[in-house]
Amino acid sequence: MRDSSGLEQLKQRVDAKLEAIRQQQRWRQLLPLRDSEDTVNLSHNDYLALRSDVHFQDLAWQAARHWPAGSGASRLLGGEHVIYGELEQAFSQWKGAESALYFSSGYAANEALMKALALEGACFFSDSLNHASLIDGMALAKLGPEQKHIFRHNDLAHLEELLQRFPCDLPVIVTESLFSMDGDYCPLPELAALARSYRALLVLDEAHSLGIVGPQGQGLLSAHGLSHDQILTINPCGKAMGGMGALIAGPNWFRDYLVNTARSFIFSTGPSPWTAAALLESVRYVAELQERRSRLAELSLRIRHRLGSMGFDCGAGSSHIIPVLLGSEVRALAAEQYLASQGIKTKAIRPPTVAVGTSRLRISLHAGLHDADLTRLFHAFEGLSHA
Protein backbone atom coordinates (compact mmCIF):
# COMPACT_ATOMS: atom_id res chain seq x y z
CA MET A 1 0.00 0.00 0.00
CA ARG A 2 1.33 3.43 -0.97
CA ASP A 3 2.38 5.60 1.93
CA SER A 4 0.38 8.78 2.27
CA SER A 5 0.76 11.89 4.34
CA GLY A 6 -1.36 12.79 7.30
CA LEU A 7 -3.06 15.48 5.25
CA GLU A 8 -3.97 12.98 2.53
CA GLN A 9 -5.37 10.62 5.15
CA LEU A 10 -7.43 13.53 6.50
CA LYS A 11 -8.66 14.43 3.01
CA GLN A 12 -10.01 10.94 2.42
CA ARG A 13 -12.10 11.14 5.56
CA VAL A 14 -13.22 14.71 4.94
CA ASP A 15 -14.22 13.86 1.35
CA ALA A 16 -16.45 11.08 2.66
CA LYS A 17 -18.07 13.43 5.17
CA LEU A 18 -18.66 16.11 2.54
CA GLU A 19 -20.12 13.61 0.09
CA ALA A 20 -22.56 12.45 2.76
CA ILE A 21 -23.61 16.07 3.30
CA ARG A 22 -24.18 16.48 -0.46
CA GLN A 23 -26.19 13.28 -0.65
CA GLN A 24 -28.42 14.56 2.14
CA GLN A 25 -28.87 17.82 0.17
CA ARG A 26 -27.45 19.75 3.14
CA TRP A 27 -24.49 21.30 1.36
CA ARG A 28 -23.79 24.87 2.45
CA GLN A 29 -21.44 27.50 1.13
CA LEU A 30 -20.50 31.10 1.79
CA LEU A 31 -22.05 33.60 -0.61
CA PRO A 32 -20.88 37.25 -0.56
CA LEU A 33 -23.54 39.90 -0.14
CA ARG A 34 -24.73 41.23 -3.48
CA ASP A 35 -27.83 43.15 -2.50
CA SER A 36 -29.24 45.57 -5.01
CA GLU A 37 -32.26 47.79 -5.30
CA ASP A 38 -33.98 44.87 -7.06
CA THR A 39 -33.65 42.60 -4.02
CA VAL A 40 -35.72 42.58 -0.85
CA ASN A 41 -33.35 41.05 1.69
CA LEU A 42 -35.14 39.14 4.45
CA SER A 43 -32.22 36.90 5.42
CA HIS A 44 -30.20 38.97 7.91
CA ASN A 45 -30.64 39.94 11.57
CA ASP A 46 -30.09 43.69 11.24
CA TYR A 47 -33.57 44.22 12.64
CA LEU A 48 -33.29 47.99 13.20
CA ALA A 49 -31.55 48.59 9.85
CA LEU A 50 -28.48 50.14 11.46
CA ARG A 51 -26.14 48.97 8.68
CA SER A 52 -27.92 51.25 6.22
CA ASP A 53 -28.40 54.09 8.70
CA VAL A 54 -25.86 56.65 7.48
CA HIS A 55 -26.14 58.77 10.63
CA PHE A 56 -25.50 55.84 12.95
CA GLN A 57 -22.62 54.55 10.84
CA ASP A 58 -21.01 57.98 11.01
CA LEU A 59 -21.42 58.09 14.80
CA ALA A 60 -19.88 54.63 15.09
CA TRP A 61 -16.95 55.54 12.84
CA GLN A 62 -16.26 58.77 14.71
CA ALA A 63 -16.29 56.88 18.01
CA ALA A 64 -14.07 54.05 16.76
CA ARG A 65 -11.42 56.20 15.13
CA HIS A 66 -9.96 57.19 18.49
CA TRP A 67 -9.08 53.58 19.34
CA PRO A 68 -6.79 50.93 17.87
CA ALA A 69 -8.32 48.20 15.70
CA GLY A 70 -6.90 45.42 17.87
CA SER A 71 -6.70 45.13 21.64
CA GLY A 72 -3.17 43.70 21.53
CA ALA A 73 -3.69 40.94 24.08
CA SER A 74 -6.22 39.25 26.31
CA ARG A 75 -7.90 41.71 28.64
CA LEU A 76 -6.06 40.29 31.67
CA LEU A 77 -2.70 40.36 29.92
CA GLY A 78 -2.11 43.90 28.65
CA GLY A 79 -5.20 44.19 26.45
CA GLU A 80 -7.58 46.06 28.74
CA HIS A 81 -8.74 49.33 27.15
CA VAL A 82 -10.78 52.01 28.87
CA ILE A 83 -13.51 51.74 26.23
CA TYR A 84 -14.47 48.26 27.48
CA GLY A 85 -15.31 49.59 30.91
CA GLU A 86 -17.22 52.54 29.45
CA LEU A 87 -19.28 50.18 27.31
CA GLU A 88 -19.94 47.77 30.18
CA GLN A 89 -21.03 50.56 32.51
CA ALA A 90 -23.35 52.16 29.96
CA PHE A 91 -24.81 48.81 28.93
CA SER A 92 -25.47 47.63 32.47
CA GLN A 93 -27.20 50.93 33.31
CA TRP A 94 -29.38 50.65 30.20
CA LYS A 95 -30.10 46.99 30.87
CA GLY A 96 -30.87 47.53 34.55
CA ALA A 97 -28.11 45.31 35.93
CA GLU A 98 -25.32 46.02 38.42
CA SER A 99 -22.61 45.16 35.92
CA ALA A 100 -21.78 43.55 32.58
CA LEU A 101 -18.79 41.84 30.97
CA TYR A 102 -17.99 42.16 27.26
CA PHE A 103 -17.10 39.03 25.26
CA SER A 104 -15.94 38.76 21.65
CA SER A 105 -19.09 36.88 20.53
CA GLY A 106 -22.39 35.53 21.76
CA TYR A 107 -21.09 32.02 21.20
CA ALA A 108 -18.07 32.64 23.43
CA ALA A 109 -20.27 34.24 26.10
CA ASN A 110 -22.74 31.35 26.18
CA GLU A 111 -20.03 28.70 26.27
CA ALA A 112 -18.24 30.52 29.08
CA LEU A 113 -21.40 31.04 31.10
CA MET A 114 -22.61 27.44 30.91
CA LYS A 115 -19.22 26.14 32.00
CA ALA A 116 -18.94 28.73 34.77
CA LEU A 117 -22.31 27.69 36.20
CA ALA A 118 -21.43 23.98 36.29
CA LEU A 119 -20.61 24.14 40.00
CA GLU A 120 -20.95 21.47 42.64
CA GLY A 121 -24.63 20.69 43.20
CA ALA A 122 -25.75 22.39 39.97
CA CYS A 123 -28.06 20.81 37.41
CA PHE A 124 -29.33 22.35 34.19
CA PHE A 125 -32.84 22.46 32.74
CA SER A 126 -32.61 23.57 29.13
CA ASP A 127 -35.31 24.37 26.55
CA SER A 128 -35.20 21.88 23.68
CA LEU A 129 -34.84 24.66 21.09
CA ASN A 130 -31.96 26.52 22.75
CA HIS A 131 -29.13 27.76 20.57
CA ALA A 132 -26.13 25.57 19.73
CA SER A 133 -23.81 27.77 21.80
CA LEU A 134 -25.80 27.01 24.96
CA ILE A 135 -25.85 23.31 24.13
CA ASP A 136 -22.11 23.28 23.40
CA GLY A 137 -21.40 25.18 26.62
CA MET A 138 -23.16 22.48 28.61
CA ALA A 139 -21.23 19.82 26.69
CA LEU A 140 -17.93 21.54 27.54
CA ALA A 141 -18.98 21.58 31.19
CA LYS A 142 -18.94 17.75 31.04
CA LEU A 143 -22.23 17.45 32.89
CA GLY A 144 -23.31 14.02 34.01
CA PRO A 145 -26.69 12.63 32.86
CA GLU A 146 -28.21 13.56 36.21
CA GLN A 147 -27.07 17.18 35.74
CA LYS A 148 -28.65 18.02 32.36
CA HIS A 149 -32.34 17.79 31.55
CA ILE A 150 -34.12 18.99 28.42
CA PHE A 151 -37.68 20.24 28.67
CA ARG A 152 -40.06 20.45 25.74
CA HIS A 153 -40.07 23.82 24.06
CA ASN A 154 -41.82 26.43 26.25
CA ASP A 155 -43.58 23.60 28.14
CA LEU A 156 -43.75 24.79 31.74
CA ALA A 157 -45.59 21.68 32.94
CA HIS A 158 -42.77 19.49 31.62
CA LEU A 159 -40.16 21.78 33.16
CA GLU A 160 -41.83 21.60 36.56
CA GLU A 161 -42.09 17.83 36.27
CA LEU A 162 -38.33 17.65 35.68
CA LEU A 163 -37.59 20.06 38.55
CA GLN A 164 -39.57 17.80 40.86
CA ARG A 165 -38.03 14.56 39.57
CA PHE A 166 -34.44 15.80 39.70
CA PRO A 167 -33.99 18.02 42.75
CA CYS A 168 -30.59 19.59 43.31
CA ASP A 169 -28.92 22.34 45.29
CA LEU A 170 -28.58 24.74 42.36
CA PRO A 171 -31.15 24.29 39.58
CA VAL A 172 -30.28 26.37 36.50
CA ILE A 173 -33.06 27.03 33.98
CA VAL A 174 -31.71 28.05 30.57
CA THR A 175 -33.81 29.59 27.81
CA GLU A 176 -33.81 32.10 25.01
CA SER A 177 -36.12 35.09 25.24
CA LEU A 178 -36.97 34.93 21.52
CA PHE A 179 -36.27 31.72 19.62
CA SER A 180 -34.46 32.43 16.38
CA MET A 181 -36.01 29.76 14.15
CA ASP A 182 -39.58 29.65 15.46
CA GLY A 183 -39.99 33.36 16.17
CA ASP A 184 -41.83 32.80 19.45
CA TYR A 185 -41.10 34.27 22.87
CA CYS A 186 -40.55 32.27 26.02
CA PRO A 187 -43.26 32.66 28.72
CA LEU A 188 -40.89 34.74 30.82
CA PRO A 189 -43.13 35.85 33.74
CA GLU A 190 -44.23 32.26 34.29
CA LEU A 191 -40.66 30.97 33.97
CA ALA A 192 -39.46 33.53 36.50
CA ALA A 193 -42.22 32.56 38.93
CA LEU A 194 -41.37 28.87 38.53
CA ALA A 195 -37.69 29.62 39.11
CA ARG A 196 -38.55 31.45 42.34
CA SER A 197 -40.70 28.53 43.51
CA TYR A 198 -37.84 26.07 43.10
CA ARG A 199 -35.06 28.48 44.16
CA ALA A 200 -33.61 28.12 40.69
CA LEU A 201 -31.38 30.45 38.73
CA LEU A 202 -32.90 31.64 35.45
CA VAL A 203 -30.50 32.31 32.56
CA LEU A 204 -31.93 34.24 29.62
CA ASP A 205 -30.33 34.64 26.18
CA GLU A 206 -31.63 37.94 24.76
CA ALA A 207 -29.95 37.64 21.33
CA HIS A 208 -33.03 38.28 19.18
CA SER A 209 -35.04 40.49 21.55
CA LEU A 210 -32.31 42.95 22.51
CA GLY A 211 -33.01 46.30 20.87
CA ILE A 212 -36.51 45.18 19.86
CA VAL A 213 -38.71 44.89 22.96
CA GLY A 214 -38.83 46.79 26.22
CA PRO A 215 -39.36 50.52 26.86
CA GLN A 216 -36.02 51.41 25.23
CA GLY A 217 -35.29 48.11 23.54
CA GLN A 218 -33.54 46.64 26.61
CA GLY A 219 -35.01 43.19 25.92
CA LEU A 220 -37.74 40.86 27.12
CA LEU A 221 -36.68 41.09 30.76
CA SER A 222 -37.41 44.81 30.75
CA ALA A 223 -40.57 44.39 28.67
CA HIS A 224 -42.07 42.33 31.51
CA GLY A 225 -40.83 44.65 34.24
CA LEU A 226 -38.48 42.00 35.66
CA SER A 227 -35.05 42.68 37.11
CA HIS A 228 -31.63 41.04 37.30
CA ASP A 229 -32.14 40.25 40.99
CA GLN A 230 -32.71 36.56 40.22
CA ILE A 231 -31.82 36.40 36.53
CA LEU A 232 -28.62 36.43 34.45
CA THR A 233 -28.85 37.61 30.85
CA ILE A 234 -26.64 37.06 27.81
CA ASN A 235 -26.88 39.96 25.38
CA PRO A 236 -25.36 39.32 21.93
CA CYS A 237 -24.92 42.52 19.96
CA GLY A 238 -24.59 41.31 16.36
CA LYS A 239 -28.27 41.62 15.52
CA ALA A 240 -30.47 44.63 16.30
CA MET A 241 -27.57 46.39 18.03
CA GLY A 242 -25.70 46.56 14.73
CA GLY A 243 -22.30 45.48 16.06
CA MET A 244 -20.66 42.33 17.38
CA GLY A 245 -19.74 40.69 20.64
CA ALA A 246 -21.94 40.04 23.66
CA LEU A 247 -22.34 41.20 27.25
CA ILE A 248 -23.27 38.99 30.18
CA ALA A 249 -25.24 41.12 32.64
CA GLY A 250 -25.76 40.43 36.33
CA PRO A 251 -24.45 41.34 39.79
CA ASN A 252 -20.94 42.65 40.44
CA TRP A 253 -19.79 39.51 42.21
CA PHE A 254 -20.74 37.37 39.21
CA ARG A 255 -18.74 39.59 36.87
CA ASP A 256 -15.74 39.08 39.15
CA TYR A 257 -16.32 35.33 38.98
CA LEU A 258 -16.37 35.35 35.16
CA VAL A 259 -13.22 37.47 34.92
CA ASN A 260 -11.42 34.90 37.04
CA THR A 261 -12.85 31.65 35.63
CA ALA A 262 -14.34 32.09 32.11
CA ARG A 263 -11.79 30.46 29.81
CA SER A 264 -13.05 32.06 26.58
CA PHE A 265 -12.58 35.43 28.29
CA ILE A 266 -9.25 34.73 29.99
CA PHE A 267 -7.52 33.06 27.04
CA SER A 268 -8.90 35.14 24.14
CA THR A 269 -7.51 38.36 22.72
CA GLY A 270 -9.84 41.16 23.74
CA PRO A 271 -12.50 42.26 21.25
CA SER A 272 -11.61 45.04 18.87
CA PRO A 273 -11.79 48.41 20.68
CA TRP A 274 -13.38 49.69 17.46
CA THR A 275 -16.39 47.42 17.99
CA ALA A 276 -16.62 48.36 21.66
CA ALA A 277 -16.67 52.07 20.80
CA ALA A 278 -19.30 51.51 18.10
CA LEU A 279 -21.44 49.50 20.51
CA LEU A 280 -21.30 52.28 23.07
CA GLU A 281 -22.85 54.55 20.44
CA SER A 282 -25.37 51.83 19.60
CA VAL A 283 -26.57 51.55 23.21
CA ARG A 284 -27.34 55.29 23.22
CA TYR A 285 -28.81 55.28 19.72
CA VAL A 286 -31.02 52.19 19.93
CA ALA A 287 -32.74 53.49 23.06
CA GLU A 288 -34.33 56.23 20.93
CA LEU A 289 -35.62 54.04 18.07
CA GLN A 290 -39.15 53.37 19.30
CA GLU A 291 -40.65 54.20 15.89
CA ARG A 292 -38.60 51.44 14.30
CA ARG A 293 -39.64 48.97 16.98
CA SER A 294 -43.27 49.87 16.38
CA ARG A 295 -42.74 49.49 12.63
CA LEU A 296 -41.39 45.97 13.13
CA ALA A 297 -44.43 44.99 15.20
CA GLU A 298 -46.74 46.39 12.50
CA LEU A 299 -44.88 44.56 9.72
CA SER A 300 -45.02 41.26 11.58
CA LEU A 301 -48.77 41.53 12.11
CA ARG A 302 -49.47 42.41 8.47
CA ILE A 303 -47.23 39.75 6.97
CA ARG A 304 -48.35 36.95 9.26
CA HIS A 305 -51.99 37.76 8.52
CA ARG A 306 -51.50 37.94 4.77
CA LEU A 307 -49.41 34.77 4.46
CA GLY A 308 -51.86 32.94 6.70
CA SER A 309 -54.70 33.92 4.38
CA MET A 310 -52.73 32.30 1.53
CA GLY A 311 -52.58 29.03 3.46
CA PHE A 312 -49.01 29.24 4.76
CA ASP A 313 -48.25 28.06 8.29
CA CYS A 314 -46.28 30.79 10.07
CA GLY A 315 -46.18 29.13 13.48
CA ALA A 316 -47.53 30.45 16.75
CA GLY A 317 -45.17 33.39 17.23
CA SER A 318 -45.84 37.10 16.95
CA SER A 319 -42.32 38.51 16.52
CA HIS A 320 -40.30 39.96 13.65
CA ILE A 321 -38.96 36.46 12.90
CA ILE A 322 -41.51 34.61 10.78
CA PRO A 323 -41.06 30.91 9.97
CA VAL A 324 -42.94 29.61 6.94
CA LEU A 325 -43.18 25.91 7.76
CA LEU A 326 -42.88 23.69 4.69
CA GLY A 327 -41.83 20.30 6.07
CA SER A 328 -39.41 18.77 3.63
CA GLU A 329 -35.93 20.02 2.83
CA VAL A 330 -36.59 19.71 -0.89
CA ARG A 331 -39.68 21.89 -0.65
CA ALA A 332 -37.91 24.51 1.47
CA LEU A 333 -34.95 24.75 -0.93
CA ALA A 334 -37.28 24.98 -3.93
CA ALA A 335 -39.21 27.78 -2.20
CA GLU A 336 -36.00 29.67 -1.47
CA GLN A 337 -34.97 29.44 -5.12
CA TYR A 338 -38.39 30.52 -6.39
CA LEU A 339 -38.49 33.56 -4.13
CA ALA A 340 -34.95 34.48 -5.19
CA SER A 341 -36.13 34.47 -8.81
CA GLN A 342 -38.76 37.01 -7.74
CA GLY A 343 -36.22 39.26 -6.02
CA ILE A 344 -36.98 38.09 -2.48
CA LYS A 345 -33.95 36.91 -0.50
CA THR A 346 -34.81 34.56 2.33
CA LYS A 347 -33.18 31.37 3.57
CA ALA A 348 -34.32 27.77 3.72
CA ILE A 349 -33.69 26.44 7.22
CA ARG A 350 -33.23 22.69 7.38
CA PRO A 351 -31.65 19.97 9.50
CA PRO A 352 -29.54 19.95 11.55
CA THR A 353 -30.54 23.54 12.41
CA VAL A 354 -34.15 22.39 12.82
CA ALA A 355 -35.66 18.95 13.34
CA VAL A 356 -36.24 16.60 10.41
CA GLY A 357 -39.65 17.29 8.87
CA THR A 358 -39.79 20.91 10.04
CA SER A 359 -37.79 22.62 7.28
CA ARG A 360 -38.93 26.16 6.61
CA LEU A 361 -38.26 29.54 5.16
CA ARG A 362 -37.11 32.06 7.75
CA ILE A 363 -38.38 35.59 7.08
CA SER A 364 -36.31 38.03 9.09
CA LEU A 365 -37.97 41.44 9.11
CA HIS A 366 -36.17 44.75 9.48
CA ALA A 367 -37.29 48.31 9.98
CA GLY A 368 -35.95 49.40 6.58
CA LEU A 369 -38.72 47.63 4.67
CA HIS A 370 -41.14 49.81 2.69
CA ASP A 371 -44.72 49.16 1.62
CA ALA A 372 -43.49 48.56 -1.93
CA ASP A 373 -41.30 45.75 -0.55
CA LEU A 374 -44.34 44.17 1.07
CA THR A 375 -46.22 44.31 -2.23
CA ARG A 376 -43.37 42.40 -3.90
CA LEU A 377 -43.23 39.93 -1.03
CA PHE A 378 -46.95 39.19 -1.18
CA HIS A 379 -46.86 38.84 -4.98
CA ALA A 380 -43.98 36.36 -4.72
CA PHE A 381 -45.74 34.27 -2.10
CA GLU A 382 -48.93 34.25 -4.18
CA GLY A 383 -46.85 32.72 -6.96
CA LEU A 384 -45.26 30.27 -4.54
CA SER A 385 -48.68 29.15 -3.28
CA HIS A 386 -49.56 28.07 -6.84
CA ALA A 387 -46.16 26.68 -7.80
| Catalytic residue selected from 46, 111, 182, 205 | 205
Strand ranges of the sheet holding 359-364, from the earlier edge strand across to the other edge: 321-327, 359-364, 347-349
Nearest one of 244, 307, 248 to 105, comparing CA atoms? 244
Crossing angle between the packed helical segments 273-286 and 54-64, to the nearest 10 degrees: 140
Output the CA angle 299-303-306, nearest 5 degrees: 145
In the residue annotation, 154 being an active-site residue is answered as no
| Catalytic residue selected from 43, 44, 45, 74 | 45
- In order of 210, 229, 280, 298, the CA distances from 287 in angstroms are 11, 22, 12, 19
In the residue annotation, 208 being an active-site residue is answered as yes
| Catalytic residue selected from 95, 131, 228, 347 | 131
In the residue annotation, 45 being an active-site residue is answered as yes
- The DSSP line for 127-178 is ETT--HHHHHHHHHTT--TTTEEEEPTT-HHHHHHHHHHS--SEEEEEEESB
User: Element (H or E) spanning 234, and its range?
Assistant: strand 231-236
| Catalytic residue selected from 53, 88, 176, 184 | 176
In the residue annotation, 131 being an active-site residue is answered as yes
CB 285 within 8 A of CB 56: yes
SS (H, E, C) 107-131: HHHHHHHHHHHCCCCEEEEEECCCC
| Catalytic residue selected from 95, 208, 228, 345 | 208
| Catalytic residue selected from 115, 228, 239, 347 | 239
In the residue annotation, 205 being an active-site residue is answered as yes
Catalytic residue set: 45, 131, 176, 180, 205, 208, 239
